[in-house]
Structure 1
Amino acid sequence: MIRKILIADDSNTERLHLTRILETAGFQVIAAQSGNEAKALAESQQPDLILLDIIMDDGDGYQACRAIKRNPATQHIPVIMVSSKSNPVDRQWAQKLGANDYIVKPYTDNDVLQQIAKL
C-alpha cells in the first residue's frame, strides 16, 4: 500500500502543487529539489513511490531513475516520471530506465491520483 511519496522537482510551484494533491488524498510527502537529492532521500526514507521530474539541475530525472533502479536498496520503489516532455521517445526512454509510468504536465489532480491507484 502506498503511504509515503517522494516528489522530486526543481520547481517550488510544482512541488507545492503535487504536495497539495497528495496530502489532500491522505499521503505523506517528502520533497526533493534535484535528482541527486531524490536518490539520497529514496535510500534514507524508503518511500512507497517516487514522482520524478525529468529536467532538473544537479542530476536530472533520467539519471536519478537509473540510479534508483540499479541500487538494491531502492530498486523495488515504483517511479512515475512527471514531465512537460510529451514526446513518445521520452516515455520510451523513461520506461527503459525502469520508470513504472509517466505523467505529462500540465496534469489534473485526478490524473496524478489515477496513476498512483494503478500501482
Structure 2
Amino acid sequence: MAQQQGTVLVVEDSPMFRKMLSDMLQVLGFTRILEAFSGQTAMELLEEQRPDLVCLDLTLPDISGYEVCEYIRATPALKEIPVLMISARTQTMDRAQAEEAGASGYLIKPFTPEDLQQQVERVMAARPRKEG
C-alpha cells in the first residue's frame, strides 16, 4: 500500500498520456492530481497551488519543460518542489539540459509503472524535509 503522497501536477500535452500518468500516480498514493496541457497553464496553476511533485513533459505546445522547470527553480515559494522531467528524448544532452534547468529526475518514455515509482521515490526522498 502506497503512503499518502499529497498533490502532484502533471504537465503533459497528450491527453492519453496525461490520463495514463495520472492513473499511475494515483496508484502510487497521490491524493490530488492537477493537470496542465501546456507550460503556460502549468505556471498559472503554480501561482495558486504548491504541489508536492511536478511531473513535467519536456515537449509542450507553447514553452518547453526546461523553461517551466527554470521558472519553478527561480520562484522562492516553489523552488524546493521536486520536478520529474518526462521525455521521449534519450540524448545525454537533453538529460544534461534538464539537470541544468534544475530537474530532480529524468524519466524516458515509454516507461513502466515500476520505472515511474522508482523515480518518484528517488526525487521525493531527495527533497529537503520541511521543518514542522
One-letter code aligned to 2:69: C
Work out the number of aligned pairs and report it.
119
Q: CA RMSD in A?
A: 1.2
Shift, 1:25, TM fit:
2.3
Moved over 2 A (4+): none
Shift, 1:24, TM fit:
2.1
Shift, 1:40, TM fit:
1.7
Alpha-carbon separation, structure 1, partners of 2:26 and 2:75: 28
Contact 1:43 1:73 in 2 (8 A): no
Alpha-carbon separation, structure 1, partners of 2:49 and 2:18: 18
Q: What is residue 106 of structure 1 aligned with on the other side?
A: 110
Contact 2:5 2:29 in 1 (8 A): no
Mean CA deviation greater in 41-50 or 91-100:
41-50
Alpha-carbon separation, structure 1, partners of 2:5 and 2:28: 11
Tell me the TM-score normalised to structure 1 length.
Answer: 0.94
Select the residue among 40, 56, 59 that pairs with 2:44.
40
Alpha-carbon separation, structure 1, partners of 2:66 and 2:5: 23
Cα distance per residue 1:5-26 (max 9 Å; x no partner): 1000000011000011011222
Cα distance per residue 1:38-69 (max 9 Å; x no partner): 12212311000100001111221011111111
Q: What is residue 78 of structure 2 aligned with on the other side?
A: 74
Contact 1:21 1:109 in 2 (8 A): yes
Tell me the TM-score normalised to structure 2 length.
Answer: 0.86
Q: What is residue 91 of structure 1 aligned with on the other side?
A: 95
Q: What is residue 31 of structure 1 aligned with on the other side?
A: 35
Select the residue among 56, 60, 63 that pairs with 2:64.
60
- Say whether 1:20 aligns with 2:23: yes
